[in-house]
Amino acid sequence: MKKQSTIKDIAKRLNISISTVSRALKNAPDVSNETKNAVMSVAEELHYQPNRLAVSFRVKQTNTIGVIVPNLDYVLSTMVKGIDEVALEAGYTVMVCQSNESFGREVLNTSRMLQSLVDGLIISVSSETKTFDHIKKFVERDLPIVAFDRIVPEIIAPNVILDNEYAGYLATEHLIEQGYKNIAILAGPKNLGISNARMDGYLKAHKENNLKVDQKNIIHCDFNQDYAYFATKELLKSKNRPDAIFTISDRMAIGAMIAIKERGLKMPTDIGLIGFNNEPMLSLLTPTISSIEQPMFEIGKMAAKIFIERLHSEDNSNVTTEILKPRLIIRESSKRKMI
C-alpha cells in the first residue's frame, strides 16, 4: 500500500520549511502567492490530504454524530434513517452502534465514541440501563446529548419521544369499543419507561370505562417473540381466559398470535389482538394484525435537528421534550364491529 504524502514531502520537494508549507496550506497572509501556488501544485501532484484527526483537534469538531440504539430492528433502523437524512444534509456523518439491549455493550459503545471524537451523542438507552455515569461523561466534556424513543433519567438533555401513554390508551380503548372486556397486556421490562407509559394508558382506558383489571392479565417480559409466545400460552390456560391481548411490540404480537392459533382460537371472534409499531409484516399475516403506528422517521429527523441546533448554539439551557402522537391502524385481528 502506497504511503500517504505529508507536508514534510511537499517541503522536501520545494526545499522550503515544513512550517512554510503548513502556513501556505492555511492561506496565511505572510506567505507569498508564488509560494502558495507552488505548494498547492505539489500537494495536488502528491495527492496530499490533510490529517483529519489533527484538524479535528484544532477545530474541536469532527462533524461526526454518535448514535447508540438498543438494536437495529425495523423501528429503530427507521429512526436512524431519519437521523442520517438530516445529518447528511447538514454535512455530518453518523456513527451507529447497537447495544443489543445490553448495559455493558452500551457502556463500551459510549467509551469508543468518546475515543473517536464524536461531536456528541443521540441515544436510545438499553432496557438494562439503570445507571447513567457513562452518558454523563459526554456532559462533562460539554458535548451535546439528545435522547430519543426512550427518556434518559438523571441527564438534563432534550428528548424526542412518542406519546406512549396515549398509545396504550388508544389500543385499549379500541379493544373495549369492539366489545372486549377481559383484556391482557404483554408489557416490557418493569424498569423501562416506554413500557410503563404504555401500560398506564392501558390502565387509564379501563378506569374510564369502569372495567376492573385482573392483575394476572398484566405480564412483564422482554421485547421478544418467544417470551410472548410462552406468556400467551399461560394466559390462555387460565380459568378467566382473556378475550383480548394488547402487546407493546409487534414481535410480541406475532408470538401471541402463534399461541392463539395453536389453542384453536379464532381472531377476532374468540379473542382480539393488537400490536405496537405497525411493522409491514402485520398486513401480510392471516388474519391481518391491528397495531399502533408511530412516526419513526420523523422522530429520528427531529432528534437530529435538535442535536445540530444545540451543537451550534451558545445557550443550551433550554431543554425540551418533543412528544409525537401515534396512530391506530385497525385490521382483522381486533375488528368485531363496523367502524
Contact of 251 with 228, CB cutoff 8 Å: yes
Q: What is the pLDDT of residue 2?
A: 55
Give the helix ranges, DSSP H, for the chain.
7-14, 18-25, 33-45, 52-59, 74-89, 103-115, 133-140, 164-177, 193-208, 225-237, 250-262, 296-311
In angstroms, rounded to a whole number, what is the distance separating the alpha carbons of residues 173 and 4? Answer: 64
pLDDT digits (tens, 9 = 90+) for 138-181: 998 889 999 999 988 888 999 999 999 999 999 999 999 999 99
Q: What is the pLDDT of residue 27?
A: 76
DSSP state of 321: E
Print pLDDT tens along the chain (339 aa): 456 678 888 989 999 988 888 788 877 788 898 998 898 888 888 887 665 545 554 445 678 999 999 999 999 999 999 999 999 999 999 999 999 999 999 999 999 999 888 999 999 999 999 999 999 999 988 899 999 999 888 889 999 999 999 999 999 999 999 999 999 999 988 888 999 999 999 999 999 999 999 999 999 988 889 999 999 999 999 999 999 999 999 999 999 999 999 999 999 999 999 999 999 999 999 999 999 999 999 999 999 999 999 988 877 677 889 999 999 999 999 999 765
In angstroms, rounded to a whole number, what is the distance separating the alpha carbons of residues 318 and 136? Answer: 18
Collapsing DSSP to helix, strand or coil, 78 comes out as: helix
pLDDT digits (tens, 9 = 90+) for 70-93: 999 999 999 999 999 999 999 999
In angstroms, rounded to a whole number, what is the distance separating the alpha carbons of residues 80 and 69? Answer: 9
In angstroms, rounded to a whole number, what is the distance separating the alpha carbons of residues 334 and 227? Answer: 22
pTM of the model as a whole: 0.81
SS3 sequence of 97-159: EECCCCHHHHHHHHHHHHHCCCCCEEECCCCCCCCCHHHHHHHHCCCCEEEECCCCCCCCCCE
In angstroms, rounded to a whole number, what is the distance separating the alpha carbons of residues 194 and 324? Answer: 13
Q: What is the pLDDT of residue 284?
A: 94
Residues 6+ positions from 245 with CB-CB distance below 8 Å: 183, 184, 185, 186, 232, 235, 256, 260, 271, 272, 273, 274
Alpha-carbon Rg of the chain, whole angstroms?
A: 27
Domains of the chain: 7-50 (1.10.260.40), 62-162+296-326 (3.40.50.2300), 164-294 (3.40.50.2300)
Q: Which residue has the cell 397486556?
A: 185
Q: What is the pLDDT of residue 237?
A: 95
Q: What is the pLDDT of residue 59?
A: 47
